[in-house]
């Protein structure tokens, strides 16, 4: 569903951000992307939602190749995936409900559908009482919930989260993380970049670790290797 094949990314200014990275994320999977700041986590996410393109290798997302995608198709792709950020990126002048509705309006969805869907999503993220609040009237955790609801509005196959708890206190972090788990349990894949190791340790989801642009650890591969080791007599 998301496949990186020997992907390298070099920025014109800033040098090599990714160096020969390969991995595959299956449908419905939950994977952490960890590593120190500047390791290349955000670059990987940008390559997934095609804000950036690989210098070498290929990225395939939902059957679309980064090498051949046209600009007009990028908009279509983004409707099939949801993205949330550390800084929420909500439209400041619009209410929570309007922010969520906006992502549907750009797809020319009918008005009746929008209203129903927005109210269902607000309930799902636990904010039905804050529908008409502006982002600045909401706490960080609440703003991130609105951002998550917006990301889910087009029923994406994957939710991409770039340090979604980076700006949140412990309580809000736990709440947002639980929401992501629920979303994953309902069938949506989640790819979450974080350097909150506490969060990573407490769950048994797949972990992909990046350091200086290279993939240094992938728990899925480690498990596969261990299985091979066990089945091979010494």
Residues within the interface to another protein (CB under 8 A): 49, 71-72, 75-79, 83, 89-91, 93, 102-103, 105-107, 150, 154
In angstroms, the CA 18 to CA 117 distance is 38
Q: Least CB distance from residue 229 to another protein, whole Å?
A: 43
Cβ distance 158 to 183 under 8 Å? Answer: no
Do residues 210 and 37 touch, judged by C-beta distance below 8 A? no
Q: Of 78 and 181, which CB lies nearer to another protein in the complex structure?
A: 78
Q: Which is nearer to another protein, 13 or 71 (CB)?
A: 71
For residue 29, the minimal CB distance to another protein (Å) is: 22
Shorter beta-carbon distance to another protein: residue 20 or 87: 87
Tell me the closest approach of the beta carbon of residue 89 to another protein, in angstroms: 5
**Half-sphere exposure of residue 63, counting CA atoms within 13 Å on the CB side?**
4
- Nearest-approach distance from CB 223 to another protein, in angstroms: 34
The dihedral over CA atoms of 39, 44, 46, 48, expressed in degrees to the nearest 10, equals -170
Q: Which residues pair with 18 in a beta bridge?
A: 9
Nearer of residues 35 and 135 to another protein, judged by Cβ: 135
Residue 65, classed as helix, strand or coil, is strand
């Amino acid at each position: 569903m998301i496949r990186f094949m020997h992907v390298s990314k070099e920025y014109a200014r800033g040098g090599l951000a990714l160096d020969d990275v390969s991995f595959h994320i299956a449908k419905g999977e939950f994977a952490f992307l960890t590593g120190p700041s500047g390791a290349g986590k955000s670059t990987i996410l940008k390559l997934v939602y095609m804000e950036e393109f690989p210098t070498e290798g290929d990225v395939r997302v939902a059957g679309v190749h980064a090498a051949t995608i046209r600009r007009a198709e990028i908009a279509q792709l983004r409707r099939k995936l949801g993205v949330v950020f550390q800084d929420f990126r909500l439209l400041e002048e619009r209410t929570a409900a309007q922010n969520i509705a906006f992502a549907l309006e750009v797809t020319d969805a009918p008005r009746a559908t929008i209203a129903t869907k927005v109210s269902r999503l607000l309930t799902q993220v636990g904010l039905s009482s804050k529908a008409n609040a502006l982002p600045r009237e909401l706490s960080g955790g609440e703003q991130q919930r609105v951002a998550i609801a917006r990301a889910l509005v087009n029923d994406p196959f994957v939710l991409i989260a770039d340090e979604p708890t980076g700006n949140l206190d412990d309580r809000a972090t736990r709440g947002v993380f639980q929401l992501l788990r629920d979303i994953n349990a309902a069938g949506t894949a989640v790819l979450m970049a974080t350097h909150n190791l506490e969060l990573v340790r407490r769950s048994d989801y797949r972990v992909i670790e990046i350091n200086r642009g290279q993939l240094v650890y992938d728990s899925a591969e480690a498990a596969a290797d261990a299985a091979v080791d066990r089945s091979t007599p010494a």
